Structure 1
Amino acid sequence: MEHTSNTDLRADADAVLARLVGDASGAARLREDQWRAIEALVADRRRALVVQRTGWGKSAVYFVATSLLRARGSGPTVIVSPLLALMRNQVEAAARAGIRARTINSSNTEEWETVQGEITAGEVDVLLVSPERLNNPDFRDQVLPGLAAATGLLVVDEAHCISDWGHDFRPDYRRLRTMLTDLPPGVPVLATTATANARVTADVAEQLGTGGATDALVLRGPLDRESLSLNVLRLPDAAHRMAWLADHLDELPGSGIVYTLTVAAAEEVTAFLRQRGHVVASYTGRTENADRQQAEEDLLANKVKALVATSALGMGFDKPDLGFVVHLGSPSSPIAYYQQVGRAGRGVEHAEVLLLPGREDEAIWEYFASLAFPPEDLVRRTLDVLAGAERPVSLPALEPLVELRRSRLETMLKVLDVDGAVKRVKGGWLSTGQPWRYDTERYAWVARQRKAEQEAMRQYASTTDCRMEFLQRQLDDDGAKPCGRCDNCAGARHAADTSSAALDAARVDLGRAGVEVEPRRMWPTGLAAIGMDLKGRIPANEQAAAGRALGRLSDIGWGNRLRPMLAPQAPDAPIPDDVARAVVDVLADWAKGPGGWASGAADASPRPVGVVTVASRTRPRLVHSLGARIADVGRLPLLGAVEYTADTSPISRSNSAQRLKALDGMLHVPPALAAALAGTPGPVLLVDDYTETGWTLAVVARMLRRAGAEGVLPLVLAVQG
Structure 2
Amino acid sequence: MNATREEANNLLAGIAGPGAQLRDDQWVAIDALVNQRKRMLVVQRTGWGKSAVYFIAAKLLRARGAGAAVIISPLLALMRNQVASAERAGIKAATLNSANMTEWEAIQQQVVSGDADVLLISPERLNNPDFRDTILPRLAAETGLVVVDEAHCISDWGHDFRPDYRRIRDLLAGLAPNIPVLATTATANDRVVEDVRAQLGEGTGLLRGGLDRESLYLSVVNLPNPTERPAWLATHLKELAGSGIIYCLTVSAAHDLADALNSVGWNVAAYTGRTEAGERERLEHALINNEIKALVATSALGMGFDKPDLGFVVHMGSPSSPVSYYQQIGRAGRGTDRADVILLPGTEDKEIWEYFASVSFPREEVVRQLLAVLTDEAQSTVRLEAQVDLSRSRLEQVLKVLDVDGAVKRVRGGWVSTGQEWIYDAERYAGLEQARKTEQQSMVDYQNTTDCRMLYLRRELDDAEATTPCGRCDNCTGKTWGLDTDAEITLKVDQQLQTPGVSIAPRKMWPTGISVKGKIAGLEEGRALGRLNDIARGPALKALLDSRAYSDDPWMAHIIEVLKNWDWSNRPANVAALGNTNSASTEMIIQVAQSIASVGRMNFAGILPVLPGAEEVMAQNSAYRVEALLKQWDWSKGLQLVPGPILLVTDLIDTGWSVTVAGNGIAQRTSESVLPFALASRG
Which TM bucket (shorter chain)?
over 0.9
Name the counterpart of 1:385.
373
TM-aligned CA deviation for residue 571 of structure 1:
4.7
Shift of 1:332: 0.7
Q: Please state if 1:302 is matched with 2:281.
A: no
Amino acid at match of 1:563: K
- Bigger drift between 265-274 and 238-247 goes to 238-247
- Residue 491 of structure 1 is aligned with which of 435, 453, 478? 478
The answer as to whether partners of 1:259 and 1:328 remain within 8 angstroms in 2 is: yes
Alpha-carbon contact 1:642-1:670 (below 8 Å) kept? no
Contact 2:575 2:596 (8 Å CA) reproduced: no
Match of 1:685 in 2: 647
Residue 614, structure 1, aligned to residue 579, structure 2 = yes
Task: Report the count of equivalent residues.
Answer: 681
Residue 574 of structure 2 aligns with an amino acid whose one-letter code is: V
Residue 133, structure 1, aligned to residue 129, structure 2: no
The more displaced of 681-690 and 329-338 is: 681-690
- Distance in 2 of aligned mates of 1:616 and 1:573: 17
Matched with 2:612 is: 646
Secondary structure of the 2:115 match is: coil
Matching of residue 194 in structure 1 with residue 186 in structure 2: yes
State the alpha-carbon separation in 1 of the partners of residues 551 and 249 from structure 2.
28
> Tell me, what secondary structure is at the counterpart of 1:551?
coil
CA separation of 1:565 and 1:363: change in aligned 2, threshold 3 A: farther
Query: What amino acid maps onto 1:427 in structure 2?
Result: G
- Equivalence map 1:460-475=2 (5 Å): 460-475=446-461
Structure 1 stretches of 5 or more lacking a match?
A: 597-603
Letter in 2 for 1:608: A
**2:67 alignment partner, SS class:** coil
1:710 aligned partner = 672
Per the alignment, residue 528 of structure 2 pairs with 549
Do the aligned partners of residues 268 and 204 (structure 1) sit closer, same or farther apart at CA in structure 2, a change above 3 Å counting? same
Partner of 2:423: 437
Whole-angstrom distance in 2 between the partners of 1:240 and 1:581: 22
Given that residues 573 and 603 in structure 2 are in contact (C-alpha distance below 8 angstroms), is that contact kept between their aligned partners in structure 1? no
> After superposition, where does 1:530-545 map in structure 2 within 5 Å?
532=515, 534-538=516-520, 540=521, 543-545=522-524
Is contact 2:572–2:602 with CA below 8 Å preserved after alignment? no
Quote the Cα distance in structure 1 between the aligned partners of 2:57 and 2:178. Answer: 15
Alignment of 1:407-486 (within 5 A): 407-480=393-466, 481-486=468-473
Question: Using a 3 Å threshold, how does the CA distance of structure 1 residues 390 and 190 change in structure 2: closer, same or farther?
Answer: closer
Question: Would the alpha carbon gap of residues 282 and 572 (structure 1) be closer, same or farther in structure 2, given more than 3 Å must change?
Answer: closer
The 3-state SS of whatever aligns with 1:108 is helix
Could you say which residue in structure 1 is the equivalent of 2:560? 584
Q: Distance in 1 between matches of 2:632 and 2:206?
A: 59
Partners of 2:199 and 2:615 in 1: how far apart?
44
CA distance in 2, matches of 1:703, 1:417: 40
CA distance in 2, matches of 1:518, 1:255: 34
Relative to structure 2, which stretch is displaced further, 627-636 or 360-369?
627-636
**Whole-angstrom CA distance in 1 between matches of 2:315 and 2:608:** 44
Q: Could you tell me how far apart the structure 2 residues matched to 1:681 and 1:572 are?
A: 32
Which residue is equivalent to 2:265? 277
Secondary structure in 1 matching 2:529: strand
Deviations 1:456-499 (A, max 9, x none): 11111111000000000100111112100000001224211111
1:72 positional shift? 0.5
- Structure 2 residue aligned with 1:352: 340
* TM-score, length of structure 1 as denominator length: 0.92
Q: Is the 8 A contact 2:314 2:344 kept in 1?
A: yes
Q: CA-to-partner distance for each residue in 1:583-642, whole Å, 9 max, x for gaps?
A: 23212222xxx3x3xxxxxxx414423433333426223222222222232233432211
Structure 1 residue 373 displacement after superposition: 0.3
- 1:601 matched residue in structure 2: none
Q: 1:13 aligns with which of 4, 8, 17?
A: 8
Partner of 1:173: 165
Q: What is the alpha-carbon distance in structure 1 between the residues aligned to residue 552 and residue 306 of structure 2?
A: 48
Cα distance in 1, alignment partners of residues 84 and 198 from structure 2: 33
1:203 corresponds to which letter in structure 2?
Answer: D
Query: Residue 530 of structure 2 aligns to a residue in which SS?
Result: strand
The correspondence of residues 318-357 of structure 1 with structure 2, limited to 5 A, is 318-357=306-345
Aligned to 2:31: 39
Q: Kindly indicate whether the alpha-carbon contact (under 8 Å) linking 1:46 and 1:187 is maintained by their aligned counterparts in 2.
A: yes
For the 8 Å contact 2:575–2:593, the answer to whether it is kept is no
Change (3 A) 1:535 1:65: same
Determine whether 1:523 maps to 2:510.
Answer: yes
CA contact (8 A) 1:687 1:715 kept: yes
Q: Does 1:623 align with 2:589?
A: yes
8 Å contact from structure 2 (residues 610, 634) kept in 1: yes
**Aligned AA for 2:199?**
Q
Q: Is the 8 A contact 2:504 2:525 kept in 1?
A: yes
Q: Per the alignment, in what secondary structure is the counterpart of residue 107 of structure 1?
A: helix
In structure 2, distance between residues paired with 1:260 and 1:382: 34
Structure 1 residue 89, shift from structure 2 partner: 2.7
1:563 shift after superposition: 2.9
Counterparts of 1:13 and 1:419, CA distance in 2? 40
Q: Any idea what SS the aligned residue of 2:518 has?
A: coil
Post-superposition offset of 1:77: 0.6
CA change 1:254–1:682 in 2 (3 A) is same
| Structure 1 ranges of 4+ moved more than 4 A | none
With over 3 angstroms needed to count, the CA separation of the structure-2 counterparts of 1:375 and 1:149, relative to structure 1, is: same
Asked if the contact 1:615/1:641 (under 8 Å) is kept, the reply is: no
The corresponding residue for 1:373 is: 361
Match of 1:694 among 646, 649, 656: 656
Q: TM-score, normalised by structure 2?
A: 0.97
- Contact kept in structure 2, 1:691 and 1:718, CA below 8 Å: yes
Q: Is the 8 Å Cα contact of residues 641 and 669 (structure 1) preserved in structure 2?
A: no
Against the structure 1 CA distance between its residues 469 and 576, is the aligned structure 2 distance closer, same or farther, given a 3 Å change threshold? Answer: farther
Confirm or deny that 1:69 pairs with 2:51.
Answer: no
Q: Deviations over 1:492-541 (max 9, x none)?
A: 242111110011112211211101112222111122xxxx1x21113x4x
Using the TM superposition, name which of 517-526 and 441-450 deviates more: 517-526
Preserved CA contact (<8 Å) 1:681 1:709: no
Offset of 1:669 from its aligned partner? 2.5
* Partner amino acid, structure 2, of 1:15: N
Contact 1:644 1:668 in 2 (8 A): yes
Which residue of the partner structure matches residue 87 of structure 2? 95
Q: Tell me the SS of whatever aligns to 1:644.
A: coil
Task: Describe the superposition over 1:343-400 as per-residue Cα deviations: whole angstroms up to 9, x where unpaired.
Answer: 00111111111011111111111111111100011000000000xx351110000001
Partner of 2:602: 636
Asked if 2 retains the 8 angstrom alpha-carbon contact of 1:134 and 1:144, the reply is yes
- 2:138 counterpart of 1:146: yes
- TM superposition shift of 1:717: 1.2
Using the TM superposition, give the Cα deviation of residue 304 of structure 1 relative to its aligned residue in structure 2, in angstroms: 1.1
Take 2:189 and 2:574, find their aligned partners in 1: how far apart are those partners?
Answer: 62
* Contact 2:261/2:493, CA 8 A, preserved across alignment: no
**Structure 2 unaligned runs (5+)?**
none
Matches within 5 A, 1:52-63: 52-63=44-55
Residue aligned with 1:363, SS: helix
Alpha-carbon distance, 1:652 to partner: 3.3
Match of 2:493 among 486, 492, 506: 506
Q: Is the partner of 2:494 in helix, strand or coil?
A: helix
Computed over aligned residues only, the root mean square deviation of the Cα atoms, in angstroms, reads 1.6
In 2, the alpha carbon distance for the partners of 1:586 and 1:307 equals: 29
- How far apart are the structure 2 equivalents of 1:374 and 1:468? 35
SS of alignment partner, residue 667 of structure 1: coil
One of 71, 76, 81 as aligned partner of 1:79: 71
- Structure 1 window deviating more from structure 2 (32-41 vs 622-631): it is 622-631
1:116 & 1:304 partners in 2: Cα distance?
38
Report if the CA contact (8 A) 2:386-2:513 is conserved.
yes
Q: Equivalent residue of 1:560, what SS?
A: helix
